[in-house]
Structure 1
């Protein structure tokens, strides 16, 4: 069984979701607590958030590579970034990482394809919704991505950084997110990508009438499968 290395802390809330998903799935499958070994390198959310808003993506990339070098030295055999936004620079980080990395976008695209989806709505930070990495990843499997209107994107971005990343769950924000998702469904979305790993805290699986793609869960389970493989 391979040892998993997680770049976490972006945010702490989603890092907990990853760890819990992996360990609970092992118990569900086997009835035993035979978890894979997991090493978590928790970075400063505040530092990374400031760098993102300053557009310092080269520095972000360098810091992420340094994290995976440290995880490699600690014995990790495969790695994952427990955040969607940081996948904006995934190709370069993966190229420079000393251990293989699992992409949250690729894992989510595989799941969307498995579900037979052709058009999906994407919710996440402004960087994720306005970036092209999800459009590229989904496009490679023939799936179209649609996003909320500009004003809605700003509102979503604010709630993620000012509330969810701090562990704050507000019912008015939950209702607003669900309303925005329902608007995307009316525009033809057959599924909604929770393209921020904190969003499962706000949008339960049964809150919409279409498939909800919980990227944190999908990514964590993909890591477990990779750890269990040869």
Structure 2
């Protein structure tokens, strides 16, 4: 098996989910005693929390570039960033390392294209929902995205940053996202993209009013497939 590197800690809750899902996939294909060869660097999320200005993002890029270089030097053959929002600095990181990276939105877009999804809604933090860096990747795979739901952004950010990143999932949060998804279905969405790695805590990925494309699950599976040489 090949050794995968992951930049994590954004948040530790989603990194835990990545680690579990990748290992379960490897175990399923390699036997109950197998585990995934991985290098994980868990960053301090307090330095990367709610970035706003260009200077904030430049500082974040420097932190992630340094992490990526350490993982490459330690022997990782492929790199993943265990967060949606940090893919805003994907290109800056990619330019500084020689190993390939798995872009989370590319993985999601490829899956949606294979399933024939033509119109979807994107749910994530304000940075992801409004940023072209993520939306362009999905559109390039033929997915027409509904406009960002500006009315829900504050509530979504509050739930993600105040509750989900510390592993606190509430019934109220479940109700909020159920309402959002129902409204997006009424607007014509064929599917929902969960573009925050913590949202699986409050959204039923397998049983909902619309098909749910969980970015964490899809990204983790692709990482496991690379480890196994299935890519």
State the Cα RMSD in Å.
1.5
**Unmatched 5+ stretches in structure 1:** none
Q: Write out aligned runs for 1:105-116 (5 A).
A: 105-116=105-116
- Residue 81 (str. 1) matches residue 84 (str. 2): no
- For 2:149 and 2:110, locate their aligned partners in 1 and report how far apart those are by CA, in whole Å: 26
1:217 maps to 217
- For 1:93 and 1:141, locate their aligned partners in 2 and report how far apart those are by CA, in whole Å: 23
How many residues are treated as equivalent by the alignment?
229
2:17 maps to 17
User: Structure 1 residue 166: deviation in Å?
Assistant: 1.2
**Unmatched 5+ stretches in structure 2:** none
1:121 maps to 121
- For 1:172 and 1:36, locate their aligned partners in 2 and report how far apart those are by CA, in whole Å: 36
Q: Write out aligned runs for 1:18-97 (5 A).
A: 18-50=18-50, 52-55=51-54, 56-97=56-97
Comparing 136-145 with 148-157, greater Cα deviation is found at: 148-157
- For 1:6 and 1:30, locate their aligned partners in 2 and report how far apart those are by CA, in whole Å: 21
- For 2:10 and 2:143, locate their aligned partners in 1 and report how far apart those are by CA, in whole Å: 27
TM-score norm. by structure 1 comes to 0.94
User: Structure 1 residue 116: deviation in Å?
Assistant: 0.9
- Contact kept, 8 Å, 1:94 with 1:101, in 2: the verdict is yes
2:170 maps to 170
User: Structure 1 residue 99: deviation in Å?
Assistant: 2.1
Comparing 91-100 with 14-23, greater Cα deviation is found at: 91-100
CA distance change for structure 1 residues 16 and 75 in 2, over 3 Å: closer, same or farther?
A: same
